[in-house]
Amino acid sequence: MTLPYPPEQVALRDGTPVTLRAIRFDDAPRLQAAVARLSPQTVYLRFLIPLHDLSDADAQRLATVDYDRRMALVASVTRDGEEQIIGVARYAMTDADGVAEPAIVVGDAYQGRGLGTLLLARLARYARAHGVHTFVAIIAAENTRILRLMEHAGLPFVVHDLGHGEREVRIDLSSVTPATPAN
């Protein structure tokens, strides 16, 4: 199967080589291992609930996308001959035309090195090529890291306080140059 987003080699700000690629159905165990390596704070900021592990069913659901209405990019490194997922950026279309809900997580050991910015920028370009003009996400009010990430990515966004410790973030993708979708 030819993936719509072939592997891309990138370097983080500190020179660490990383592979960005489309998620595959066989990534479920790597997703479980990635979640297991996350700190409780990072897990909460990503999932908005305390989570100790990712069930087999949830991992398989997250690893299975259609590359159009549901897409995920993974960032990985090779450690001891094994591929390890260190970051994931994904979106799922909502019922509103051209609107998708994004989610992004970067492993604690790789935060602050530009990986989140790379993932978000690549995901935004891919989403634009697939008809998405707006990302809408609900985030924890204390999640200032994601706001800085969007600023670094140069994406215009608006934040609305929803109360109860949550905010809605609307990201305008109209200025993003779409990636050429693979056929």
User: pTM for this structure?
Assistant: 0.91
Cα 163 to Cα 25, 47, 121, 169: the distances in Å are 37, 18, 29, 13
β-sheet with 157-163: strand ranges across: 8-11, 17-22, 70-79, 82-93, 99-106, 134-140, 166-172, 157-163
Number of separate domains in the chain: 1
Question: Position of tokens 């080589």?
Answer: 17
Predicted confidence pLDDT, tens digits, the chain (183 residues): 566 888 999 999 999 999 999 999 999 999 999 999 998 888 877 776 767 788 999 999 999 999 999 999 999 999 999 999 999 999 999 999 999 999 999 999 999 999 999 999 999 999 999 999 999 999 888 888 888 888 888 899 999 999 988 999 999 999 898 876 443
Domain that holds residue 25: 8-172
Q: What's the CATH code of the domain at 36?
A: 3.40.630.30
Asked if residue 62 lies in contact with residue 32, where contact means CB atoms within 8 angstroms, the answer is no
- The amino acid occupying position 94 is T
What letters, b where the CB count within 10 A reaches 16 and e where it falls short, cover 102-115?
A: bbbbbbeebbebbb
Q: Is residue 180 part of a domain?
A: no
Q: Is residue 3 part of a domain?
A: no
- Packing angle, helices 115-129 and 144-153, rounded to 10: 60
Q: Is residue 41 part of a domain?
A: yes
Q: Is residue 37 part of a domain?
A: yes
Asked if residue 61 lies in contact with residue 54, where contact means CB atoms within 8 angstroms, the answer is no
